[in-house]
């Protein structure tokens, strides 16, 4: 079967297409899944380019979606023919997070889903939403679930809330779609006027070009009559957090999801304290969160925004497209 491996030193030039032995039939508690799609995330990019070190020969990609081909003894949740997608933390089933690293994350600490067939314990997967293509389902493992946990699980989003989404990456677009479907007002930022037109078409109520308005926190306050937003989808990290604190309301919620502007930096702690805001870091979510996400998406009728689809063997071209920043929505691999 076809697979992708990372050769060290990791780079887009050192991604190799290989043939691996078929993994065979599932044992007790396992599934055999014919993978059909994956989707790219910043975390995957960091792994394949060496920014987040991994082992020689690692199979990348945390996201995977496909069809159950066989079930082992004791598996009652799935049957042959079911459409499923992978869990980012296969061993975090429910409850409070108990994992603070990526040692169990497919495509990083263990082999991922850039391969045609896997045999894994059944708790590595959940059912895909009805009516989703495999490409659409593959976008949910990381980006979709992160947005869901930020807004619904941690944020307690409700109709009438205001949400600020930074940029137009996968998590931010999912957050925009979910927030609008649940009756919230959404403000979106980008450095591209063309992308701001696209988020407007997706339902964003207000847009801000942060290159033209570097003090965009003040602009958010103006758009909310001085109150500030209830929720911030903070994907930038240290470089954007000061403006996010300004943009948030007193007692508001800031979901710290990404570190696109760097892993360390100064935090205006006095401003955070004065506004009595809740700054909460998060990494994706549990298997139970994922099952709740599936039910939520089916109820809301949301479908992911997909920018482009590449063949598995063109994975380096797909990451180069992500690297360019030209995409809008998710980039997928189709097997």
Among residues 170, 165, 196, the alpha carbon closest in space to that of 40 is found at 170
Percentage of the chain beyond pLDDT 70 is: 99
Instruction: Give pLDDT, residue 130.
Output: 97
Tell me the mean pLDDT in the region 158-177: 97
Domain ranges across the chain: 2-144+285-334, 155-281
Query: Is there a cis peptide before residue 9, judged by omega within 30 degrees of 0?
Result: yes
Tokens for 48, please give them.
């394949």
CATH: 3.30.450.20, 3.50.30.10, 3.40.50.720, 2.40.30.10. Which one for 155-281?
A: 3.40.50.720
pLDDT at 299 over 70: yes
What average pLDDT score do residues 297-315 get?
A: 97
Q: What residue has token string 């975090």?
A: 92
**292, 304, 261, 280: which is closest to 175 by C-alpha?**
304
Three-state SS annotation for the chain:
CEEEEECCCCCHHHEEEEECCCCCCCCCCEEEEEEEEEECCHHHHHHHCCCCCCCCCCCCCCCCEEEEEEECCCCCCCCCCCEEEECCCCCCCCCCCCCCCCCCCECCCECCCCECEEEEEHHHEEECCCCCCHHHHHCHHHHHHHHHHHHHHCCCCCCCCEEEEECCCHHHHHHHHHHHHCCCEEEEEECCHHHHHHHHHCCCCEEEECCCCCCHHHHHHHHCCCCCEEEEEECCCCCCHHHHHHHEEEEEEEEECCCCCCCCCCCCHHHHHHCCCEEEECCCCCHHHHHHHHHHHHHHCCCCCEEEEEEHHHHHHHHHHHHHCCCCCEEEEEC
Q: Do the two domains 2-144+285-334 and 155-281 of this chain adopt the same fold? A: no
CA-CA distance, 328 to 167, in Å (whole number)? 10
Average pLDDT, the chain: 96
Confidence class of residue 261 from pLDDT cuts 50, 70 and 90? low
| Residue 217 predicted with pLDDT over 90 | yes
pLDDT tier at 255, thresholds 50, 70, 90: very high
Q: Which fold has domain 2-144+285-334?
A: Quinone Oxidoreductase; Chain A, domain 1 (3.90.180)
Q: Is the pLDDT of residue 260 over 70?
A: no
């Amino acid at each position: 079967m076809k697979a992708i491996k990372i050769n060290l030193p990791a780079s887009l030039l050192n991604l190799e297409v290989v043939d691996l032995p078929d993994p065979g039939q599932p044992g007790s508690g396992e599934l055999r899944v014919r993978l059909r799609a994956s989707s790219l995330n910043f975390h995957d990019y960091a792994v394949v380019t060496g920014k987040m070190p991994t082992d020689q020969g690692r199979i990348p990609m945390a996201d995977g979606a496909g069809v159950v081909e066989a079930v082992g003894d004791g598996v009652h949740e799935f049957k042959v023919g079911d459409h499923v997608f992978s869990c980012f933390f296969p061993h975090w089933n429910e409850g409070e997070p108990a994992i603070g690293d990526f040692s169990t994350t497919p495509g990083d600490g263990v082999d991922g889903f850039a391969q045609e067939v896997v045999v894994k314990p059944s708790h590595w997967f959940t059912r895909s939403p009805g009516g989703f293509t495999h490409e659409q389902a593959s976008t949910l493992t990381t980006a979709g679930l992160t947005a869901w946990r930020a807004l619904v699980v941690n944020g307690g989003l409700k109709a009438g809330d205001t949400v600020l989404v930074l940029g137009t990456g996968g998590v931010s677009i999912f957050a925009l779609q979910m927030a609008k479907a649940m009756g919230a007002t959404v403000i979106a930022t980008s450095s591209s006027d063309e992308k701001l037109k696209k988020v407007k078409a997706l339902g964003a109520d207000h847009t801000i070009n942060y290159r033209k308005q570097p003090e965009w926190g003040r602009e958010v306050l103006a758009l909310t009559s001085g109150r500030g937003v209830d929720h911030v989808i903070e994907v930038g990290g240290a470089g954007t957090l000061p403006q996010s604190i300004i943009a948030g309301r007193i007692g508001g919620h800031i979901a710290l999801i990404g570190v696109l502007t760097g892993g360390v930096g100064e935090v205006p702690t006095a401003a955070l304290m004065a506004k009595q805001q809740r700054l909460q870091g998060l990494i994706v979510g549990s298997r139970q969160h994922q099952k709740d996400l599936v039910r939520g998406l089916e109820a809301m009728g949301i479908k992911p925004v997909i920018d482009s689809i590449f063949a598995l063997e063109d994975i380096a071209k797909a990451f180069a497209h992500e690297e360019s920043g030209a995409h809008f929505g998710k980039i997928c691999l189709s097997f």
